[in-house]
Chain A
Amino acid sequence: MHTRIQVRNTSLPTIQGVETRRSFLGKSTLLLSGAAIFLLAGREARAKVNDASASDVRVLNSALGAELEAVAAYQVGAESGLLQKPVLNLAVTFQGHHKEHADLLAKTIVKLGGKPVSAKEKYGFPVETLKTQADVLRFAAMLEKGAVSAYLGAVPVLDSRDLAQAAASILGDEAMHWAVLRNALGEEPVPSAFMS
Chain B
Amino acid sequence: MKLPGLTQAFLGLALAAAGGVTAETRLPVGDPQAGEAVYARCLACHALAYNRTGPKHCGLLGRRAGSVPGFEYSDAMKRVNWVWDRKTLDRFLADPMKTVPGTTMGYAGVKDRQERADLIAYIEQAGNSAECRNH
Contact = CB atoms under 8 A, between A and B. Distances in A.
A95 to B, nearest CB: 15
B41 A146 contact: yes
Contacts of A66: 44-45, 52-53
B6 to A, nearest CB: 5
Contacts of B50: 2, 124
Interface in B36-53: 38, 40-45, 47, 49-53
A192 interface: yes
A157 B98 CA distance: 10
Interface residues of B, number: 29
Interface in A6-49: none
B7 interface: yes
A53 interface: no
B51 A153 contact: no
B104 A58 contact: yes
A184 B109 CA distance: 31
Given A146-B45, A149-B40, A196 B97 contact: no
Contacts of B41: 146, 149-150, 152-153, 196
B42 A146 contact: yes
A39 B74 CA distance: 26
Majority secondary structure, B binding face: loop
B106 interface: yes
A112 interface: no
Name the residue in B6, B40, B43 with the highest tally of chain A Cβ atoms < 10 Å from its Cβ.
Answer: B43
Contacts of B106: 55, 58-63, 153-154, 157
B5 interface: yes
A83 interface: no
Interface in A172-196: 192-194, 196
Interface residues of A, number: 32
B134 A1 contact: yes
A77 B35 CA distance: 28
Contacts of B109: 153
B51 A124 contact: yes
Nearest to A144: B44
Given A59-B106, A146-B43, A153-B41, A65 B6 contact: no
Contacts of B4: 192-194, 196
Given A58-B103, A150-B107, A157-B107, A143 B47 contact: no
Interface of A: 1-2, 55, 58-63, 65-66, 69, 123-124, 126, 142-143, 145-147, 149-150, 152-157, 192-194, 196
Given A62-B45, A153-B108, 20 more contacts: A55-B106, A62-B53, A69-B52, A124-B49, A124-B51, A143-B44, A145-B40, A146-B45, A149-B42, A149-B44, A150-B41, A150-B44, A150-B45, A153-B106, A154-B107, A157-B97, A157-B107, A194-B4, A196-B5, A196-B41
